[in-house]
Structure 1
Amino acid sequence: MGNGNSGAAAGGGAIYGLGIFGAWVYFWQEADGFWWHLLAVLEGLVWPALMVYDAFGALN
């Protein structure tokens, strides 16, 4: 049996996933050429983590 927090974890993962997809759409539209599109995929993976890091820094 779970500890009762699995719903909260799933919700956080869903929000984070939407952040990744949103970043991919944005960076993909801004990219021009193969290497820029490859960079857009990588930026889409990293950008939401940086936003969460900055958000926690602002709560300090």
Structure 2
Amino acid sequence: MEDAELLQRLEGFEIFGPAIVQRIAHFGYDKAVDTLSRLQSQKLISPAAEPNKWTLTSKAM
């Protein structure tokens, strides 16, 4: 799944973590975590108040 499509699908979630990415992108856990890390480094998502959770940044929308 391309990043743009994943980000579009994540718009429906206020916060999300690896499990949601796994479910909507059909990724394994390691790939989901790597993807979240990469998206965070690109400043498309940012850490949420909860551990291991993220939110979309305005740049991603």
More helix by share: 1
Return the TM-score normalized by structure 2.
0.36
Please report the TM-score for the alignment, with normalisation by the length of structure 1: 0.37
Q: Which has the higher strand share?
A: 2
